[in-house]
Structure 1
Amino acid sequence: MELNVSTASQGDHAVVTATGELDLYTAPRLQAALASLLRDEADHIVVDLSGVEFCDSTGMNVLLSAMKRVQGKGGSFELAAPRTSVRRILQVTGLDTVFTVVDAVPAMDG
């Protein structure tokens, strides 16, 4: 399955929406989108996972490295609305205590 990634930015806030399967083959697409936002000085990034049906360790590593880079410059990084399968992976790996996980994607004004 493919992974579609789209971004919406407003000031230093950005929402990245991923839809599909996040795995070894598709993770570079998400990584590129996140790297682009980091270059554009986004300090507050939310990754909307509501459309992600599957995420493997490669996908988790992409999210982890982006979170570390954002937090390293004093920003915030959140995972929004993960499905049950992705939430279970976060819990099994203990990453649910590492990531900030919110139930809904925050609305961007504008």
Structure 2
Amino acid sequence: MPAGIGATAIATVTEDRSDVAVLHLRGELDADTAPQLQATLSQLLERPVPRIVVDLTALKFCDSVGLSALITSRQVILARGGWLRLAGANPFLAALLDTVGLSTYFPTFPSVAAALDA
């Protein structure tokens, strides 16, 4: 189920396991691209128990609007008994998550494989 996110970022959804979706983000996640991310996440949230790994390996930039989309989705997912994990954040994104206090809010892993195995 591929979905595009604006001109500067693209999201692709893969199913590494039947019960887990991996959302691969590329480019920039900002005010221009966050609505498309929210649309993609909304589709994934329709699952009875959403389990999502967000692959940040190719994401170069994320602003507060992008973070807000992830926070809102995580709240819905937890309410439904699922989980959302972040994987492969580059140094900029890892520092951003630390700076705004989200590194303890989101389970983060060095790779998608580590997030899936957790």
Question: TM-score, normalised on structure 2?
Answer: 0.85
* Residue of structure 1 equivalent to 2:92: 85
* Residue 61 to residue 95, structure 1, CA distance change in 2 (3 Å): same
Query: Matched residue of 1:95: which SS?
Result: coil
* Residue of structure 2 equivalent to 1:97: 104
* Deviation string, structure 1 residues 21-71 (Cα, Å, up to 9, x no partner): 000001111111111011133521000001110000000000101111111
Q: Quick one: percent identity of the two aligned structures?
A: 35
Which segments of structure 1 move beyond 6 Å, counting only runs of 4 or more? none
Q: Distance in 2 between matches of 1:102 and 1:42?
A: 21
Query: Does residue 5 in structure 1 map to residue 11 in structure 2?
Result: yes
* Residue of structure 2 equivalent to 1:63: 70
Amino acid at match of 1:20: G
Query: Unmatched 5+ residue regions in structure 1?
Result: none
Question: TM-score, normalised on structure 1?
Answer: 0.91
Number of aligned residues:
108
Q: Distance in 2 between matches of 1:11 and 1:42?
A: 12
Query: Does residue 41 in structure 1 map to residue 13 in structure 2?
Result: no
Q: Distance in 1 between matches of 2:48 and 2:24?
A: 18
Q: Distance in 1 between matches of 2:91 and 2:36?
A: 23
Query: Does residue 15 in structure 1 map to residue 22 in structure 2?
Result: yes
Query: Matched residue of 2:12: which SS?
Result: strand
Q: Distance in 1 between matches of 2:69 and 2:43?
A: 13
RMSD: 1.6
